[in-house]
Structure 1
Amino acid sequence: MNPAEATTPARASKGTIRVVQLYPRDMNIYGDWGNALVLQRRIAWHGYTPELLEYNVGDDWPEDADILVGGGGQDSGQLIIQDDLQTRAPLLKALAEEGMPMLVICGLYQLFGRFFKTHTGTEIPGIGILDVETRGTDERLIGNVKVATPEFGEVLGYENHSGQTTLGPGVRPLGTVAKGTGNNSSDGHEGARYRNVVASYLHGSLLPKNPAIADFLIRTAAERKFGTFAPGEPDDHFAELARQHAARRPR
């Protein structure tokens, strides 16, 4: 240990922020677990104590959750979780209405909507937090994406989905696609926003290249829990390098 480090007192934590991963056992493809890891690291950089928890089918719901993150999955994964998700729907709706910050990607984006109808005609009911509908098609939307957003600047990621999602009047898009496809092959929008819920098709994972979204989730959680947010000094060097590299990639 450096002698200077030994004599430097540890900074007191500003408080604990609890991040709950929703169904990581069945809904965690294309690196979506990385979103939770980024939140864990950035919470610490901001001077708070991160606590990373999981909720899978049949688990007891974690108490005092502050941020909810959920990833994508195959149709089979959505079928596995659908009954349990429906039992948690009233709780999740209440938390969304109360303003809990949430990030849902791809498959859970779809199931936070009204329904997902697979390309074979099977309809998986959603929980209706988001005013969106998704229908599976034979067209695969795949490749690198750039999205212009009013809240987070340019958002970068990678899409890989055959479900085409349309937004209703109860939500607004996350942003407008500058490269790639987004929610569907017709309207030029990507993702959805409702209260403090951020929904997106972008994998890669999303947050390592888009720290502005991560900090929005953390700031919102801190303000709800502690009444204020005292930012730290995150190290964005590698995030910026990743953004530069991703922006240069072809579709």
Structure 2
Amino acid sequence: MADSTLGIGLVLPDVLGTYSDGGNAQVLERRLRWRGIAAEVVAIRHGDAVPATLDVYLLGGGEDDAQALAVDHLRAHPGLQRAAGHGAVVFGVCAGFQILGTEFTTSDGVTHSGLGLLDAVTGPGPRRAVGEVVVDTTPGLDPLTGFENHLGRTRVGSGSRALGPVRAGVGNGDGTEGAVTGRVLATYLHGPVLARNPALADLLLGWALGSPPGALPLPEVGALREERLRAAKRGRQP
């Protein structure tokens, strides 16, 4: 990979690929290409060493067994953690969110150590959270929309902060959603979330590039966001 090419690591898509979150890598690569910035998506599969030389790392969702398998692999091959220590951007969704935290307990009652890149602890909730979510973000982005499907409830500690309060949906389970510390950001939102929220995609790219990549209007995404906001207003489980 050339030094001028931004490297996007799609982490364990064969393990954490249940909800099509691999589409987030395609969104980042395409938005860079539209701006004339070279990018390459590198798929890091189970059994592969995890390189510490990429600029962005993406983790998706998966069931309990896949999540436990993934965190064991990432602890054994700590390239992602080393890269994060040098300022790489790390983005996790659902199971990926929980893996990035300090620990998570799966539905069988087993507690697993996470990677510790976020100050967040997750345990099973009383029932599965399924449906549309709207989050009023604190970083100043437009409200985020996405679809959640998880049992976990996450407590964000003082070393991280939530992305913002939940307007509709469950999120972390305490009225907030997601977590962020430095250039490590995670959420429960599927969609893929970066396709539904291009401003969030550009926030991550801005971190990776060292400056905002510039606005790129996408009217069709705006229409999708409005449709999803209306869907959330029609109501779902508290």
State the TM-score, normalizing by the size of structure 1: 0.86
Q: Which residue of 2 aligns with 1:190?
A: 177
Amino acid at match of 1:172: R
Cα distance, 1:82 vs structure 2:
2.8
Distance 1:19 1:121, change over 3 A: same
Question: Does the alignment pair 1:201 with 2:188?
Answer: yes
Aligned: 1:171 with 2:132: no
Say which of 72, 88, 100 aligns to 1:100: 88
Instruction: Map Cα deviations across residues 95-129 of structure 1 (whole Å, 9 max, x no partner).
Output: 22332112100001101111111222111221111
The offset of 1:93, in angstroms, is 3.0
- For 1:235 and 1:129, locate their aligned partners in 2 and report how far apart those are by CA, in whole Å: 32
The structure with the larger Rg is 1
Q: Distance in 2 between matches of 1:122 and 1:108?
A: 17
- Deviation of residue 235 (structure 1)? 4.5
8 Å CA contact 1:53, 1:62 repeated in 2: no
Residue from 193, 207, 216 that aligns with 1:220:
207
Structure 2: tracts of 5 or more residues without a match: none
Q: CA RMSD in A?
A: 1.8
Q: Residues 118 and 137 of structure 1 are in contact (CA less than 8 Å); yes or no, is this contact kept in structure 2?
A: no
Residues 8 and 57, structure 2, Cα contact 8 Å, conserved in 1: yes
Distance in 1 of aligned mates of 2:95 and 2:64: 8
In structure 2, do the counterparts of structure 1 residues 45 and 179 end up closer, same or farther at CA, with 3 Å as the change threshold?
A: same
User: Sequence identity, in percent?
Assistant: 35
Could you tell me whether the CA contact under 8 Å between 2:134 and 2:146 is conserved in 1? Answer: yes
The answer to whether the Cα contact below 8 Å between 2:107 and 2:124 also exists between their aligned partners in 1 is yes
Counterparts of 1:36 and 1:107, CA distance in 2: 17
- Contact 2:71-2:115 within 8 A present in 1 as well: no
Deviations 1:62-98 (A, max 9, x none): 4631111110100011122232111234x43332233
Question: What is the count of residue pairs matched by the alignment?
Answer: 230
Q: Which residue of 1 aligns with 2:98?
A: 110
Which 4+ stretches in 1 moved above 6 angstroms? none
CA contact (8 A) 1:96 1:195 kept: no
CA contact (8 A) 1:97 1:195 kept: no
The residue number in structure 2 matching 1:7 is none
